[in-house]
Amino acid sequence: MKKHLFSLGFVALLGTVSFSASAQASMTPNTIQVGGQAMYPNKNIVENAVNSKDHTTLVAAVKAAGLVETLQGKGPFTVFAPVNDAFENLPAGTVETLLKPENKATLTKVLTYHVVAGNMTADKIMAAIKAGKGKATLKTVSGGTLTAMMNGAHNVVLTDESGNTASISTYDVNQSNGVIHVIDHVLLPK
């Protein structure tokens, strides 16, 4: 009887493992959770970002700046995506002012300052930092630069042209048209 119960338990365990494996197989490989939602590598930057609860301010800003079509384009793009808290930490009224139609050019410059042409994975950024003897300069789509440095063995910190810093909290959120790295502060061009 014990042997029979053990066999039934083993079969049930195999069924659970088999179910889990098939459930995982239905998910896209390398799917990362951002803002409580899966980010699928077969979707573009905008298609994924609109599902992240941590990026509602960024999505609203991208829409207000008219950058949706651009970020749905072929790319590849590397986007350093500030979370909602990053926008909330800006001086009071900054986000509201930037979202006004008359400030579209400034908003566009701020947002494109967070975008680098190409697919700059964490490995590529870290290799560039190593090659630059501790610093890498990243040219942004807005025409400005970001400086990438290591803070510890595996943490990349970005510094904007005014000396403000942002840490990457989630690396390599792969998209069909590039990669997103989640950051904890908004970076500002001069």
Q: How far is residue 167 from each of residues 6, 28, 63, 75, measured CA to CA in Å?
A: 50, 27, 25, 24
Q: pLDDT tens for residues 90-137?
A: 999 999 999 999 999 999 999 999 999 999 999 999 999 999 999 999
Q: pLDDT tens for residues 35-62?
A: 677 777 888 888 888 888 888 999 999 9
Residue in the structure block whose two tokens are 């069909």: 176
What is the value of pTM for the model shown?
A: 0.81
Q: pLDDT tens for residues 127-184?
A: 999 999 999 999 999 999 999 999 987 899 999 999 999 999 999 999 999 999 999 9
Is a pLDDT exceeding 60 seen at residue 26?
Answer: no
Please give the angle made by the CA atoms of 35, 82 and 168, to the nearest 5 degrees.
90
Is residue 159 within 8 Å of 165, Cβ to Cβ? yes
Q: How far apart are CA 171 and CA 34, in angstroms?
A: 10
